[in-house]
């Protein structure tokens, strides 16, 4: 699973990245997690509002800080589906 956090580096973006990492660890997922800070790069990924979370090329969260529980639910759905 490839997970990207997209955002320019604001506190909300860092909080999102922290929650993503916590959810991945909690689920013991094998996932590649990265953070794209470049506005041009994340616009190419389909991001319109930050912070955003992209899983395997699809924007799954946009414009809010997702909770760890919300992220776990999303990641589990991608893992099984």
Tokens of 63: 């414009």
State which H helix or E strand residue 58 sits in: strand 58-62
**26-36 pLDDT tens trace:** 999 999 999 99
Q: Taking a C-beta distance cutoff of 8 angstroms, is the pair 7, 52 a contact? A: yes
DSSP annotation of 51: S
* Active-site residue set: 10, 13
Question: Please, which pLDDT band fits residue 79 given cuts at 50, 70 and 90?
Answer: confident
Distance CA 72, CA 78 (A): 10
Fold of 2-80: Glutaredoxin (3.40.30)
For the chain, the structural domain boundaries read 2-80
Q: What confidence score (pLDDT) does residue 78 get?
A: 87
Asked if 73 and 60 count as a contact pair (C-beta separation under 8 A), the reply is no
Say yes or no to pLDDT of 81 above 70.
no
Model confidence pLDDT, tens digit, residues 10-52: 999 999 999 999 999 999 999 999 999 999 998 999 999 999 9
Tokens of 45: 């990924």
Which of these, 16, 24, 9, lies nearest to 65 by C-alpha position?
A: 16
The answer to whether the pTM exceeds 0.85 is yes
């Amino acid at each position: 699973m490839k997970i990207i956090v997209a955002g320019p580096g604001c506190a909300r973006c860092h909080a999102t990245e922290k929650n993503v990492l916590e959810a991945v660890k909690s689920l013991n997922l094998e996932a590649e997690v990265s953070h794209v800070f470049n506005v041009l790069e994340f616009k190419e990924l389909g991001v319109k509002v930050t912070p955003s979370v992209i899983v395997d090329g699809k924007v799954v969260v946009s414009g809010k800080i997702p909770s760890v529980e919300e992220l776990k639910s999303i990641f589990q759905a991608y893992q099984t589906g």
